[in-house]
Structure 1
Amino acid sequence: MRLATYQHRGLRRSGVVEGDSVLPFPEGTELLDVIRTGSLPGTGTAVPLAGVRLLPPVEPPSVRDFVTFEEHVEGVRRSVSGAAGVPDAWYDAPTFYFTSPHAMVGAHDDVPVPPGCRALDFELEVAAVIGREGRDLSPERAREHIFGYTIFNDWSARDLQSREMQVGLGPCKGKDTAATLGPWLVTADELEPYRDADGFLRLALTAEVNGVEVGRDLLSNMGWPFEELVAYASRGTWVRPGDVLGSGTCGNGGCLAELWGLRGRQDPPPLKPGDTVTLTVEGIGAVSNTIVPGAEPLPVPPARKRPRTRP
């Protein structure tokens, strides 16, 4: 089943996607409410998808973005810091960072250039959405807590990211302007036929810039399946309905920075206004966003050197 949140005639609605139409739930029904209860309300008259604006399927309470593709780590590390190889610590556990749940944009929304950015990049990911709360889950139990999956594009200001990560806290404004979520939420049962013998979802992933393919990979090249990501995320804390867990960017051109690191130059070039990025995931669908000019950064002064006085 495909579930969507959309805007139609000025109203925010949600419903079930069937073919080229969406069957609306009663007005005021949020998809997050459907996820929490696990029950579907009645639906109304079909509305053509061509006449709606697709919104992010959920407004997530939290967003954890993992880094589970070894090939991506190797290429981007070289691009951002100049270091070769993959850190030994990467193999220990599925590392993630928390990113802003307020930066979500829809499947076909324009994406502004982040203020001050000169090296904008896309990131092709798949995200799992939690359906049931849980804590200290085993991977086996965690599978029951995944409601469904959607496409996740973690837009990245690589020049800002490269500088701020030297502080050692991870990406900040380099990841804070936009993240595409969509085009809808596909329930977990729909993707079970794609599961391989090792428990990974074998979905084909492709990335295009202005109609030219720049990346192609398989979701099953993740270092950990989603159940293990959920289990690790729940260790010592809670995962709750609507929480989004990104797979991390796939390899083999899942982002431009990986290619920059491997080629030693910005080829293809950073994204600019007018460029359109289309990401397609087998079994889920596609999202396509066009880059537009963003706001100029309002100045914030650098740190003032202060005397280290004590009371």
Structure 2
Amino acid sequence: MRIARWTVSGQPGAVGEDVAGEGFVIGSRVVEFPRGLTVGAVLHGGLALAAELHAEVEREAAPGRSLAEAGRSLAEVQLLAPLVPSSIRDFVAFEEHVEGVSASVDGKSEVVPEWYEAPTFYFTNPHTVLGPDEPVCPPVTERLDFELEVAAVIGGDGGTNLTPAEAGGAIFGYTVMNDWSARDLQSREMKVRLGPAKGKDFGTSLGPWIVTADELEPYLDADGFLAVRAEVRVNDELVGEDLVSNMGWPFGDLVAYASRNSRVVAGDVLGSGTTGNGGCLSELWGRRGDLTPAPLREGDVVRMTVEGVGELVSIVGAASPAPIIPPARVRSRARTRGANR
């Protein structure tokens, strides 16, 4: 099953307005969920509810009319991000990416021993999520970059301190994820031993839909890794390609680690981290020692394709200058009020 959200322009009674729809993508058409349910509600209900709704859609198809004729054509709608995330955790699960990007961001190519001990992640901004074809408006940056990722979406009850097997069962499905990055801002702020922050939180693209976990079971290898091919193109030129099974940990382990002494809930998004072999420009800059390929510029089109999941196309929009904040003021470090008067 494929789950999506979309807008439709010019429906009767809503001239000039966009009408939202949430439901299944069936063939080349979108069909709304029965009972007026939303993606959020279906994620909370889990895969069992999704399967029940899909069967209901099949039963309600008009006599003599195929299911593929229900709903609307994909050509009539604009897909949105397939969910409103509860949270977004982004992991760094590809060793090859760490090798290359560390040279570009930190000036030294290395994989620290601590990387191998646990699947590290950071939280990014769930309020700046972008959908397919939606332009990203980055901060003023000279090193705008993409990151090719696959993201797991949690469904059902989630949980705390899940085992890897339990965590794998909490995965509702997968989507393509582009973790936009302003590498010059990221490099500066991470020297403070926190972050990334403003180098990342201006935009994360998700889409084009969520593919339910059962659809990707044929791609699981003997060790439980998702062996799907992922590619990224900039202006139709192939920049990176990798197998997602080159992750250091399978997705179940990522979810289990996220739940450790914490909680994962329906609607949480967990990114795999950037694939290797050109999954982002920064990895290539670090390996080559120069800015080749060139950083992204306004008008560039980034196309990410993940086998079995789908294709996410994004456009680079104009940079968005922000108000200036002054640097830190020199302080006296007085410990009582008025001591420096």
What range describes the TM-score normalised by the shorter chain of this pair?
A: over 0.9
Q: State the SS of the aligned residue for 1:161.
A: helix
Distance in 1, Cα, partners of 2:242 & 2:296? 21
Specify which of 109, 121, 140 is matched with residue 96 of structure 1.
121
Verify: 1:131 aligned to 2:155, yes or no. Answer: yes
Q: Are the equivalent residues in 1 in contact too, given 2:139–2:182 (CA < 8 A)? A: no
Question: How far, CA to CA, are the matches of 1:115 and 1:97 in structure 2?
Answer: 20
Following superposition, the deviation at residue 28 of structure 1 comes to 5.0
Task: Specify the structure having the higher radius of gyration (Cα).
Answer: 2
RMSD in angstroms over aligned alpha carbons? 1.2
Distance 2:146 2:89 in 1: 17
Distance 1:187 1:143 in 2: 12
* Cα distance change on mapping 1:108 and 1:27 into 2, 3 Å: farther
The one-letter code of the counterpart of 1:131 is G
1:25 to 33, 36, 40: 33
Does structure 2 retain, via aligned residues, the 8 Å contact 1:80–1:158? yes
Identify which of 6, 23, 30 aligns with 1:15: 23
Separation in 2 of the partners of 1:105 and 1:58? 10
Q: CA deviation at 1:296?
A: 1.3
**Structure 2 letter corresponding to 1:214:** V
For residues 74-123 of structure 1, give each alpha carbon's deviation from its aligned partner in whole angstroms, at most 9, with x where no partner exists.
Answer: 100000011122111100100000001111100111111x2221110000
Letter in 2 for 1:100: N
Equivalence map 1:66-105=2 (5 Å):
66-105=91-130
Residue 175 of structure 1 corresponds to which residue in structure 2? 200
| Aligned partners of 1:108 and 1:288 also within 8 Å | yes
Superposed displacement of residue 225, structure 1: 0.1
| Paired residues, number | 310
Change beyond 3 A, Cα 1:48–1:27? farther
Residue type matched to 1:192 in 2? E
Q: What is aligned with 2:281?
A: 256
The residue number in structure 2 matching 1:116 is 140
Q: Is 1:104–1:181's contact at 8 Å kept on the other side of the alignment?
A: yes
What's the CA shift for 1:26? 4.8
Counterparts in 2 of 1:200-279, with a 5 A limit?
A: 200-279=225-304
Tell me the TM-score normalized by structure 2.
0.89
Residues 23-57 of structure 1, C-alpha deviations (whole Å, 9 max, x = no match): 11258532010111131445484111111111111
Query: What secondary structure, in the 3-state scheme, does the structure 1 residue paired with 2:292 have?
Result: coil
CA contact (8 A) 1:57 1:185 kept: yes
Distance 1:181 1:288 in 2: 10
- Report the AA paired with residue 303 of structure 1: A
Q: State the distance in 1 between where 2:177 and 2:320 align.
A: 24
Q: Which residue of 1 aligns with 2:183?
A: 158
> Does the CA-based 8 Å contact 1:78-1:261 persist in structure 2?
yes
Q: Deviations over 1:255-281 (max 9, x none)?
A: 000000000000000000011000000
Report what 2:15 is aligned to.
none
Partner residue in 2 for 1:35: 43
Deviates more, 1:220-229 or 1:16-25: 16-25
Confirm or deny: 8 A CA contact 1:13 1:28 kept in the other structure: no
Stretch moving more, 218-227 or 133-142: 133-142
AA aligned to 1:5 is R
The equivalent residue for 2:80 is 55
Do the aligned partners of 1:128 and 1:146 also contact (CA within 8 Å) in 2? yes
Paired residue type of 1:125: E
TM-score relative to the length of structure 1: 0.97
Q: Does 1:184 align with 2:209?
A: yes
> 1:303 is paired with a residue of what secondary structure?
coil
SS of the residue 1:260 aligns to: helix
Deviation, 1:18, is: 1.1
- In the alignment, is the contact (CA less than 8 A) between 2:101 and 2:109 conserved in 1? no
Question: Which shows bigger deviation, 18-27 or 216-225?
Answer: 18-27
Unmatched 5+ stretches in structure 2? 10-17, 62-69, 337-341
Residue 64 (structure 2) aligns with? none
Please state whether the residue corresponding to 1:68 is helix, strand or coil. coil
Task: List structure 1 segments (4+ residues) > 3 angstroms apart after TM superposition.
Answer: 40-45
Separation in 2, partners of 1:61, 1:127:
14
Q: Is the 8 A contact 2:100 2:287 kept in 1?
A: yes
Contact 2:109 2:286 in 1 (8 A): no
Counterpart in the other structure of 1:2: 2
Query: In the TM superposition, what is the alpha-carbon distance from 1:144 to its structure 2 partner?
Result: 1.1
